[in-house]
Structures are given as structure tokens and as C-alpha cells.
Structure 1
Amino acid sequence: MTLVLAVVALALVLPWGAAAAARRLASLLPPRGACAALTGAAVLLAGGTLAALIALFHVPFLAVLEQVPLPRAAAAWPATVPVAVAAGAALAVQAALVVRCWREHRSVLARAWSATGDSVPDGDLLVVPDPDPQAFALPGWRGRGGRIVVTTGMLRALGPAEREVLFGHERAHLAGRHHLLSVTAHLAGAVHPALRSLRPDLEFHLERWADEAAASTVGDRRLAATAIARAALAAASGTRPERGHGPLLSVGTGPVPRRVAALLQPMPSGPRTRTTQMAAAGLAATVAGAAALGLVLAYGLHEYVELTARALLRL
């Protein structure tokens, strides 16, 4: 069962290298492209891993469907049953982790909406009377549209122009449905541990995307940098922990000094030199190839079992 062992090894090993390539690719792209690359990599690599595990899990059942009794299949392929049991256990653990991640996501949204239930919205803005400086994008929930939640403490910490940067930042999160990208990466991390490394990078680039949108709204990159830094410092000085995780993306999420430094530079436009473009293309091909290989191996294992089962029946 050399092919089975190859599928096992590649299903476990490939995502580690491909995730590193995806993070490197994201560093070469502008924020929106980086978010697309990281989310796409998470989905593709999680899909390839699941396909390989499902293929390993169903080998004994496929042999039975091909009219090869399970004892005979186990005698011909000694690793069949142990590998199928291990793959089934891995799939069960993955399913439990995915369900837990999704329930956490919904629970955070429910608590956030419950905490702001008594506030009166002004369009898409929800001002909460609270001295603790906080601001975050609150996605829609049960028929209610998304809101920008900001406390009176945060409003007092910023000047009028800086508030516009804050509002533009959080509106970009809502308009781009960034919480869905973040949750997708979170769910992919439940499928393979290597994919968990994509989420911090994705959250950083989501914040960079919102930063650039805010800078474009006010037309002043230096003002945007100052406002982001001041809002992040104010949030960090608050008494409650940072909210910028999962569905509640906050202006203070991620390495703020890197974000401020990026705003003090010209707007990023992607790889410019021929070498950088080739590197980006090579990294993208690596990620896509790793995901595709998982699917090809799963299909190849299916075909291999069918052919070998028929050969056993002819003996």
C-alpha cells in the first residue's frame, strides 16, 4: 500500500510548506490581494486535506463495494483498516473542532449584539455610553444590518478628523465582509494545524485593507496613520481585552506599528520588479499545486483500489 502511505504522508506534510508559501506570497501583495491569497490558500489546503482523509477512510468500503470481502482486502493490504480507522478518527476530530469554532463565532456575535441592545443607532453608527475606549465592526445578526460600535470613551480620545478615519476603517470591515474571511481561516485551522498560522497574517492584512480604505476616504495617509495609532493606544489602555478577533474586527488588531509604518509609505500596488512578480507567481503555483495534489492523490487512490480489487477477484 505504497500509495496509501504516500497519501498519508502528503496529507500531513504538504499543508505545512504550502501555508508558509501562502504567507510569503501575501507579503508580496497589496492588502486586498493578500487577503484573497490567504483565504484561498486556507480553503484549498483544507479541501485537499479533507479529500485525502476521506479517500483513506473509504478504502475498505470501496473494496467491499467492489465485492472484495473485508478480510481478503485486509490480508492483501494490511494497512487498510488501521489507516481507515485513523483517518476516520481524524475526520471526527476535525468535525468537532469546526463545529466548536462555528459556535464560538455565533456566540461572540450574540453577546456583542446583546451588549449593545440598549443603544440607539445613528445610521450604521452605534455609540455606546462607556468610558472604556473601544471600537469595532459588528457584523449583521438575525436580520439586523452591520454596525460600527464605538464607545464615548473612544470618541473622546480622538479629534473630529481622526474619528472619520476610525469610522472609515470600521466601515471597510463591514463593506468587505472581512469577518467572513477571518472565520473561514479559523475553520480551516480546525482541519489542519498548519493552517492556523494563516489566521494572524490574514487578520493583519485585513486591518491593512481597512487602513488603506480609511486613508483613501480622508485623503490623507499621515492623518490616517496618526488616527490608527491613537485609537490603538486608547484601546490598549482600556480595562477590557482587545475585541479584534473573529467576527469583531477592531482598529487595534494586529501589529499596529507595522500598520502605521505602511500608511506613512506610498499606497502599495503589488509586485513591481520582474523578479518579485516571478516569485509571487511561483509561490501561488506552490499553494495551488499542493492543494491540487491532495485531490489528485485522493482520486488516484480511488482508482487504484478499484483496479486492485478487480485483480483480486480474478485470482
Structure 2
Amino acid sequence: MTVTLGLLGYAAAVAVLAPRLLTGTWMYRSPRLGLAALHAAGLSVLTSVLLAGITCVATPGRIQACLAALTGHPTAVMPPAVIAGMAVPFLLLARLAYVAARQTRRHRIDRGRHGEILSLLGRHDPELGATVIEAEEPTAYCVPGTGRIVITSGTLRVLSPAHLDAVLAHERAHLAGRHHLLVGWATILATAFPQPPLFRELRTMTAELVELLADDAAARSAHRNGLADALGALAVARSTDRIATGGLELGLAVTGGRVLARVQRLLDPPPPLSMAGRVGGAGAAVSVIALPALLVGIPAVLAAGLAACPLIFG
């Protein structure tokens, strides 16, 4: 059971320690690398638990042989821990599939309902390439899956044409980058497995970092100061009233994340990560995924050449 216990221990360590080790100011300097590192850690935890279950499923005969060799009596009874380990990959996948199907169905229903509301209340503005809703609250967001950007008439009153152009560039970056897929996956993990600190942090940080990615994309289009001014104007002008959209949280809003920190980051961009930092971050992301495979692969290669009881791989 050495490999199985090692995989489970590794998964527990990453699930608890990764939020402390990975998160930091460096993520705001390189949000893309930060997303890669966090999602690699999340994938590593899932992979480790799955592989731990698979090692139990793949080696029951070896375990029984080892027990017989140790006790001197043949046995057909599997230890309860082994039986539980065999069920782990199936339960894990079933839980993920259930939550993913439920989330997908709910979002599909919400998008349909939201589309009906937009058809009734909104009008398409071909110059802006967006749907305009008559509402006092200034806001702008995109609706994933439809490619639609929605703004309110309150936004048009608050923002100048240059500021509005920056906001639209931000929302187009969300759609082009398909950021909703990362947010959706992080939400599925946090909903399916709310206990691990990593998955909770993954959902929070993914929502924040995709906003920084969209900010950077808009800034590359020469909208850095315009977007900063627009964010400030929208944050000040927003009221406590919600738009009459049925309370749906469908899109990625331009005022998502920590608005003040985003404004400061736009006005005073942090220095980019050094080459060593980028290489180190990428190496950490690759390593955290590769290690579970090495924990299984190396003992398997060693056990293949051993004629003795294969406790090392059990």
C-alpha cells in the first residue's frame, strides 16, 4: 500500500498547502501563469486520488499474495481499506459528473431565461456590437455561450465614448479567452468538493485572475487609462439596486474582482516576472502534475523486475 498511501498523502498536502505556497503578489504580475499553477495543483489532487484508487483496483491479487506470504495462510478476504480504495475513483468521477451535469443544466436554463429577458428589454446597437438594456444601474457584462455583450443605458450615461470602448474591449477579451470555462470548472470543483482549501481558493482566485487577464488584453489595445477611469466611474456610480434580470449570475462583469486593486494595477502596472520567475512558475505547474505519475510509474518499473512479494507497488 506504499504507493497508494503516498498518493493520498501527496493529494492531502497539495490540497492544504498549495493555497499558501502558490498565491501571492506574483500572480498579479503574471495572472496567466498564476491560473496555470492553481489549476495544475487542482488537477494534481484529482489525479492523485484517482491513481490511488486505481492502484487498489489493479493490484488486489498482489495484495492477497502479500497477505498470504506474511501470515502463512491463503486468504480471499480483502482488507476494508482496500475495498474502500477501489470505490474511490468511481465515487470521485460520479460526484464530478453529477455536479457538472447539474451546473450545466442550470446554466443552460438560466441562459435561456436571460435571453428571453434580453429579447424583451434589450436592443442591439450595431455600432457598439452590444445589447443595451434600459436600466439606471451602470454595468456591463458578457454572456458566455452566446457571445453577447450587455450594457445598460446607465452605463452609456456615465461613460464617455473612449471609456465605453475600453469596457467593451475588456468584455471582448473575456469572450475571446473563453474565461467562463475556467470559472465554470473552478466552480464545479469547489461545489463538488468544498472541503479542500485549494478548491475554495481556486474558485476565488480564478474569478479574480480572469479579470486581470481581460484588463491586460484591453490595456494592450491602448485602453489602459481609459479602462481604469471607466472602472472607477462605474464603481462610484453603481447603486445597491440590481438590474431586473431575475437575479441571474450569468456573465463576467467588468466590475468583477477587487475593483480598486485593478484600477491601481492599471494605473501603475507591476513589473513583469523575471525569466527565472516565469521558468520557475512553469516548472512548478508541470512538476505538480507529473509527480503523481512518477509516484506510480517508478515503483511499477521497479516492481516489474522483482520476483518477491510486490509490497512496493501494493
TM-score tier (shorter): 0.7 to 0.9
Q: Residues 204 and 82 of structure 1: is their aligned pair in 2 closer, same or farther, counting only changes over 3 Å?
A: closer
Tell me if structure 1 keeps the 8 A contact 2:133–2:150.
Answer: yes
Count of paired positions: 297
Deviates more, 1:244-253 or 1:220-229: 244-253
CA apart distance, 1:311:
4.4
- 1:1-315 alignment, distance < 5 Å: 1-24=1-24, 26-27=26-27, 29-30=29-30, 34-38=31-35, 40-63=36-59, 72=75, 74=77, 79-86=81-88, 88-118=90-120, 119-123=122-126, 124-141=129-146, 146-190=147-191, 193=196, 194-217=198-221, 219=222, 221-240=224-243, 248-266=251-269, 268=270, 270-272=272-274, 277-299=275-297, 311=309
For 1:243 and 1:164, locate their aligned partners in 2 and report how far apart those are by CA, in whole Å. Answer: 27
Deviation at 1:23, TM superposition (A): 2.7
More displaced, 290-299 or 61-70? Answer: 61-70
Q: Is the 8 A contact 2:57 2:86 kept in 1?
A: no
Identity %: 28
Asked whether the 8 Å contact 2:137–2:241 carries over to 1, the reply is yes
1:68 to partner: Cα distance: 6.4
Unpaired runs of 5+ residues, structure 1, are: none
Shift of 1:253: 0.4
**Shift in Å, 1:98:** 3.1
Contact 2:53 2:86 in 1 (8 A): yes
Give the letter for the 1:255 counterpart. R
Query: How far apart are 1:78 and its partner, in Å?
Result: 6.1
CA distance in 2: counterparts of 1:311 and 1:109, whole angstroms: 57
Could you list the per-position Cα deviations for residues 210-263 of structure 1 after superposition, in whole angstroms to 9, with x for gaps in the alignment?
Answer: 23333444x464333121111133335433499999751111101111011112
Displacement after TM superposition at 1:100 (Å): 3.2
Distance 2:106 2:26 in 1: 27
Inter-CA distance 305–195: structure 2 relative to 1 (3 Å threshold)? farther
For 2:247 and 2:293, locate their aligned partners in 1 and report how far apart those are by CA, in whole Å: 35
Structure 2 unaligned spans of 5+: 68-73
